[in-house]
Amino acid sequence: MACPSHNYSGGQTGPTTWTNWSGRFSGSVSAFWEPDTVEDLVHVVQRASTEGNRLHVVGSGWAMESVAHSTDWMVSLRRLNRALSGITDGALNAQWTTNQAAGQELLFHVEAGATVADVNDLLDARGLAMPTLGGANG
């Protein structure tokens, strides 16, 4: 587990009103957090626990109902959308590692806040973008 940041660098607002993507649902939120790093996220989780606040993670807010909303603390992972490396180092067998290095089989890891659009942009920068996508890419 990552250590918490000592100087939280992410976004924080509150009290505020949160609204889903379509604008069909909104509600008050005691505090809304947008951590910039995993360490910032750990900071928010530890602080919520210490201060007795419930913490609800929200994605892109594409739910058609109020399921994404919480009146206590909400945290968005949207800023945690970067590519990750070294995740499976040492965990794969030798053949997989050889195939990976040769570009025959690829694993691509991203932080939890990445949307399909973010992933496709990151893949595109490596010449690996998906040529077609079904539905919306959020």
Cα separation of 54 and 37, whole Å? Answer: 20
Cα separation of 77 and 94, whole Å? Answer: 34
Return the number of other C-beta atoms located less than 10 Å from residue 34's C-beta.
Answer: 19
Q: What is the pTM of this model?
A: 0.80
Percent above pLDDT 70 for the chain = 92
- pLDDT tens string 81-135: 999 887 766 677 777 778 777 776 677 889 999 988 899 899 889 888 877 777 6
Q: How confident is the model at residue 29 (pLDDT cuts 50, 70, 90)?
A: very high
Q: How confident is the model at residue 77 (pLDDT cuts 50, 70, 90)?
A: very high
